[in-house]
């Protein structure tokens, strides 16, 4: 496994589509980028930064996202999201994430991810559901 060090960055871009609008996500009534869609882009940038260097069978899961959605972005504008790894502590990865549109910064966030064994994680998740059905 390649060591992933603080300072590593990943940038992704996306055009704001109908599916990403607050009015269609259910998080508001306007035709602007929905905060949940923005959050998904932020997690995606961080996930992609780590995923290519994870050993087979290991992935990362998001455990915390604290974001400020500063300004609205309209339909069809392009959003650029940059995730910068700021700290690595055992299996915990912390990021500073910034999103921009054609005008400037629209959001800033802190995001945490943990590395997990994918098979064991899914088994635990499925067992949680099975346990709930027995109650």
Q: Is residue 3 part of a domain?
A: no
Residue ranges making up the domain that contains 39: 9-134
pLDDT in tens, 94-109: 999 999 999 999 999 9
Q: Is residue 4 part of a domain?
A: no
- Enter the pTM of the model: 0.92
| CATH code, domain with 63 | 3.10.129.10
Q: How many domains does the chain have?
A: 1
Q: Which residues pair with 109 in a beta bridge?
A: 67, 97
Buried b (16+ CB within 10 A) or exposed e, 2-31: eebeeebebebebebeeebbbeeeeeeeee
| Rounded Cα gap, residues 98 and 81, in angstroms | 6
Per-residue pLDDT band for 7 (boundaries 50, 70, 90) equals: very high
**Neighbouring residues of 126: CB distance < 8 A, sequence distance ≥ 6:** none
Q: Is residue 1 part of a domain?
A: no
127-to-6, 61, 122, 123 alpha-carbon distances in Å? 35, 18, 8, 6
Q: Is residue 40 part of a domain?
A: yes
Q: Is residue 95 part of a domain?
A: yes
């Amino acid at each position: 496994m390649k060591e992933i060090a603080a300072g590593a960055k990943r940038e992704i871009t996306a055009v704001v589509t109908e599916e990403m609008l607050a009015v269609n996500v259910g998080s508001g009534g306007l035709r602007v980028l929905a905060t949940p869609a923005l959050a998904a882009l932020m997690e995606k940038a961080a996930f992609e930064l780590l995923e290519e260097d994870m050993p087979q069978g290991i992935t990362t899961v998001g455990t915390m996202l604290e974001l400020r959605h500063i300004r609205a972005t309209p339909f069809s504008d392009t959003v650029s999201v940059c995730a910068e790894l700021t700290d690595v502590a055992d299996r915990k990865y912390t990021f500073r994430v910034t999103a921009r549109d054609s005008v400037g910064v629209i959001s800033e966030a802190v995001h945490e991810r943990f590395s997990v064994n994918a098979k064991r994680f899914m088994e635990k998740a499925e067992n949680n559901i099975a346990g709930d059905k027995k109650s």
